[in-house]
Copies of this chain bind each other. A is one copy, B any other.
Amino acid sequence: MAKTPSRSRTSQADRRERTRRSLLDAGRRLIADKGVAGLRISEITTEADVALGSFYNYFDTKEDLVDAVVGDTLANVATALSTKETEDQDSAEVVATAIQRFVAIAYEDPDFAQLLVHLNHSEEVMLGSVSPPATAAVVDGLESGRFKLEPEAVDIVVTTILGGALSLMRAIVMGRVGPGAELVYAEHALRMLGLAPARARQVVQRIA
């Protein structure tokens, strides 16, 4: 008896999280299929098999769901990219690979990149979801001595590397920058993190 209320609260929270996830998954599929412009909330709830009115228990507007879809996708990508495969993997390689693959989305998935760069709050969405794993990867390289950075510079460097990546992705999507920019940027971001130019070049040559 004593456990019933807590179990019921848990399963209610679980159910909420499942419904929210269904709406996000449906939104992601529909956005991938047909873009954001003509997307209707009723389509999302039909695809998610959720009552139309329930949508508003989870999101205030369609734009909020789109922000959440993009933020979610970015957080997954960033976490996957900035996680070391083995404990002794070089932090510089981890960060350079993460930057390279992240920026390459602009070449490889132009629909998602368009969505990202045209989002109203693209920068807040991106910083909110990508900063935590990016900061962790930078701190890791700092602790291992691979990066040379004052501790108080970490937030500023992470903010500007991510902001720079977003600008570059926008330039790629708009055709202002040709192919190969992802590796060039990864190399120069490593310089920012304290690697000498020759070292930064070696790292990107290894991951290219």
Which of A's residues lie within 8 Å of B, judged by CB? 123, 127, 148, 150, 152-153, 155-157, 159-168, 170-171, 176-177, 181, 184-185, 187-189, 191-192, 194, 196-197
- Interface SS, A side: helix
Docked-complex contact A177 and B159, CB < 8 angstroms: yes
**CB nearest to A198 among chain B residues:** B148
A163's partner among B127, B152, B168, B181 (CB-CB below 8 A) is B168
Question: Copy number in this complex?
Answer: 2
Residue of B nearest to A120 (CB): B120
- Top 4 nearest A-B pairs (CB, nearest first) are A163-B167, A160-B164, A164-B164, A163-B164
Given A148-B197, A188-B192, A191-B191, are A177 and B164 neighbors across the interface (CB < 8 Å)? no
The answer to whether B177 touches A168 (Cβ under 8 A) is no
A152 x B197 contact (CB < 8 A): no
State in angstroms the CA–CA spacing of A197 and B196 once bound together. Answer: 8
Evaluate contact between A166 and B163: CB separation under 8 angstroms.
yes
Residue from A168, A177, A191 having most chain B Cβ neighbours under 10 A = A191
Using Cβ atoms and an 8 Å threshold, which residues of chain B touch A163? 163-168, 170
In the complex, residue of chain B having the shortest beta-carbon distance to the beta carbon of A163: B167
How distant is the Cα of A186 from the Cα of B146 in the complex, in angstroms? 21
Of the candidates B148, B166, B185, the one whose C-beta lies within 8 Å of that of A167 is B166
New A-B contacts (15) at CB < 8 Å, excluding given A127-B167, A166-B167 = A152-B184, A155-B176, A155-B177, A156-B168, A156-B184, A159-B164, A159-B177, A160-B167, A160-B168, A160-B188, A160-B189, A163-B164, A163-B166, A163-B168, A164-B167
Complex alpha-carbon distance, A165 and B159, angstroms: 9
